[in-house]
Chain A
Amino acid sequence: MLSSFASRLLDALGPDVVRAAPEDLAVYAFDAYSEDKLPSAAIVPHDVREVAIAVRIARECGEPIVPRGAGTGLCGGAVPSRGGLVVSFARMNRIVELDVRNRRARVQPGLINLDLSAAIAGAGIFYAPDPSSQKISTIGGNVGTNAGGPHCLSYGTTTNHVLGLEYVDADGGLHHTSIDDAGYDLTGVLVGSEGTLGIVTEVDVRLMKLPEAVRVCVAAFADVESASEAVSAIIGAGIVPTALEIMDALITRAVEAHYHAGYPENAGAVLLAEIAGSHDDVAAGEAAIAAIAREHGALSWRAARDQRERDALWAARKGAAGAIGRIAPNYYIQDACVPRTRLPEVMHAIDAIARDHQLPVGNVFHAGDGNLHPLLIFDRRERRQVEAVVSAGTEILRTCIAMGGTISGEHGIGYEKRETLSLVFSPDDLAAMGRVRDVFDPMRAFNPDKIFPSGAMCGEVGTPPSARRTATA
């Protein structure tokens, strides 16, 4: 028996677009976070017109609306926690317009991140934001979370590469924004708003010229602390390469076992550095970084010889979270950010927190940005371990905040961290954000239960994390 909401959607958009049977809705119930909830209906629209129609029907029926990309989000941002309508962009995945001369493209939100760069590589240009999930995650989802990735260090995150948007508002109205228009920067406000302000249906992106030269280097260290000290020293010396990544021993072993990319398997920690620019700058940059790494105890230094080796190192790094699946029953990946000088200290603290909770921890992170991803390994069948993970996760976030950092560098707040948000922001800070929400979505129809604390303030992480389904560090 169909709900009247599903019937109205079917009448308006037909069975090709609308999903209403529970077995068809199961795939829209979860993302890479642990919670799940079946929506009342889902649509897989062909175009913005169908999105607008569905939004209007959902509003008339009082159903909440949750936009969905590939569902790789780690914080429950795409989980329809109150049921309602899920809008999947699986079909809206085209490059609408490519303007090579002006280095910009207009794309649909369902376009897979890597497909964009692959499609334009021949023109000597690329799309810079490259979250580790880029093989499956979509531009629309990346816009929702303001996704980062290893190369943010010099290129910035998604928001620095979005020039304008098309979005559907809470009344089903269609709008266009551009950062070049007069008036408030609605584009900048919408990026990173996790689907709580509107449904993005088209994205204008900035493309960049491929650098003349690229070099990817790998250094082995005795431990994470010394590798972190090397990273703090590189940034402190005024060198900003395109990427500076660290993997600890646990992660490196798992990654090598899976990918055989050429990482030093017996190292206590591995530093992956990418330098891009002119031939001269790349050579000089490598020499400077290698010297600092050696001063801080690098045991070895190796540069990838060609693009094939570079690609293999990156593929393995971006697949790190997935590789952990080989050695761990379940893991919980945390995301936080600290000022770069605090890296050695925070890594030491994370190690102590994990030991206190008797949890194995792996670290794979964007060290150059101070963006941490500790992976806590546990078995979800052991209740005490689940509790330990929740408690350790919160303690890590509190530690990062105490060091002048924040609770999410790139994964977003979503459902998972919404109660934690008030550890970072005061009620006045949150009220200012609430004003923006009031304007775009006064009825809280878009992605309810996300980003903002539930009201009864607690400041504790309330929801137990458990298995991660997808590899997206």
Chain B
Amino acid sequence: MIAKRNDALRLGTLSPARVLEPADAAEMAAALAASAAAGESVVLHGGGTLQRSANPPARYDSALLTTRLVAVHEYEPRDLTIGTGAGMTLATLQRTLAAQRQFLPLDAPLPARATIGGTLAAGWAGPRRATYGRARDLLIGATVALTDGTLAVCGGMVVKNVTGYDLGKLYVGSHGTLGAIVRANFKVLPAPAARQLAVATFEDDNRERVLAHVGAMTVPPVALLIRDGFLALRDAPRPEDIDFRPQIVALFEGSETTVDRAVREYRSALGAAGVAETRILTAAAAGSGFQEVLDEYVALAGAVSFTLLGRGKPADATLRAERARATFASGGAGATSIETIADLLTGDVVARVRAPATLDAQTLAGAGAAVRSALGRAQLIAAHDAAITHVDAWGETPSTIATMRALKERFDPRNVLAPGRFVGAI
């Protein structure tokens, strides 16, 4: 095992005393058991892209990296299933699948860094889930290292399985507080033959018409987002191009004929709503354009920023986004600006708040609370260190917290796994 000190793994105000990189599942289990025996706290790290979507740990002795768990354990393309190490990046996984014209429909920001284990642990669920399901729905099996040094398997390599408890669901979204995911099995899909991204800017007073026309489409996109306040997506932005008008982004995937038809229908719907120009990106450009939008979900901006993601019903997503923007309409709560993404298919609303470096802790916390109340159930997904210590990652504690605490206690009795990072200070 390689041990090295690394300040780059700092979370909040703490840096780990040790950095461990287990070579395989057995070493991971042994490392967890040793930490538990010594009562030393451990934070798991994948690519770090979503590490700021949980609170900083209360204690932080060791960082445990999944960097070396990158094996493809099983891949039979004709079964449409794959099992890999948790440390593999999503980009590598997608490349492996793409060579067989397959893909895993799991959206995540920064896939070149984001790992499978980290994406699962963070419970990330992106815009395309309305069509393809969430990470929890794509996962068919997992191996998890527990603090007693055992490796526990759940699920398997088949696409339909009701053999024992579905513990994969428990580990997904648990932010490394119950165990370390060391292997994940997914069901995958044939890669869509065609992909097109439609990007259009519209006038703010035209919003209702755009929504009405787009809502009446018969062939729906796989993702449909309205971005407000973000810089418009452009090939090569020049200063004179800077355009902060609202923008509607639609991703279409499927067969050539159906995608062509859907995009034609979409363009004419926008045209009928008075939108002058809809730019269409195809094939690889559509994929990278959509990835750019996803990357924005966790991108930091300005001196201090934090980003909240609120879940709710699709029908009121634009309303919640508007409420969040209205919070700062009069420069309220001292923040300089807010940008939002309303996901019309899933109901997610993303709000990025930018604040000046001089903003005091109390005002920052107030801004977080104000945006939260506009969004509904909202979690932090990204933040500058200056913000994360003042804006709680979780917001409202769920009513089932006692059961959650009991689960934590039963899986990690010494409370060494990411203490204090999860909801309700778990």
Contact = CB atoms under 8 A, between A and B. Distances in A.
Decide whether A and B are members of one complex.
yes
Contacts of B161: 337, 406, 408-409
Interface string A261-290: 000000000000000011011001000000
Contacts of B123: 185
B3 interface: no
Interface of B: 76-81, 101-102, 123, 133-134, 136-137, 144, 146, 150-154, 156-170, 172-174, 178, 189-191, 218-220, 254-255, 257-258, 261, 311-315, 347, 377, 379, 394-401, 403-404, 406-407, 410-411, 422-424
Interface stretch (A33-41, A217-225, A419-427): A419-427
A186 B166 contact: no
A230 interface: no
A413 to B, nearest CB: 6
A88 interface: no
B410 A183 contact: no
A186 B165 contact: no
B257 A337 contact: no
Contact of B261 (A192, A280, A439): A280
B408 to A, nearest CB: 8
A281 to B, nearest CB: 5
Interface of A: 99, 101-102, 104, 145-146, 148, 152, 156-157, 159-160, 169, 175-177, 179-189, 191-193, 209, 212, 232, 235-236, 238-240, 277-278, 280-281, 284, 337-341, 366, 369-371, 404-413, 421, 424-426, 428-433, 435-440, 451
Nearest to A239: B190
B137 A189 contact: no
A410 to B, nearest CB: 6
The 9 tightest CB contacts between A and B, nearest first, are A188-B169, A238-B190, A236-B78, A432-B152, A180-B311, A428-B150, A409-B160, A337-B158, A280-B257
A457 to B, nearest CB: 15
Contact of A339 (B144, B157, B173): B157
A180 to B, nearest CB: 4
Contacts of B163: 406-408, 413, 421, 424-425
Contacts of A410: 160, 162
Given A235-B78, A370-B158, A175 B399 contact: yes
B78 A340 contact: yes
B314 A102 contact: yes
A102 B407 CA distance: 32
Given A159-B169, A432-B152, 20 more contacts: A156-B133, A175-B403, A179-B136, A180-B312, A181-B377, A182-B398, A184-B404, A191-B166, A238-B191, A240-B190, A278-B258, A281-B255, A339-B81, A369-B160, A370-B79, A371-B160, A406-B156, A408-B163, A431-B150, A435-B407
Contacts of B167: 189, 432-433, 436
Given A102-B314, A340-B79, A160 B157 contact: no
A160 B168 CA distance: 13
Contacts of A278: 219, 254-255, 257-258, 261
Contacts of A412: 162
Contacts of A239: 190
Nearest to A435: B410
19 contacts: A152-B160, A169-B403, A175-B403, A184-B407, A188-B136, A188-B166, A238-B101, A238-B102, A278-B257, A281-B255, A284-B257, A340-B159, A408-B163, A409-B160, A411-B162, A413-B162, A424-B164, A432-B167, A440-B403
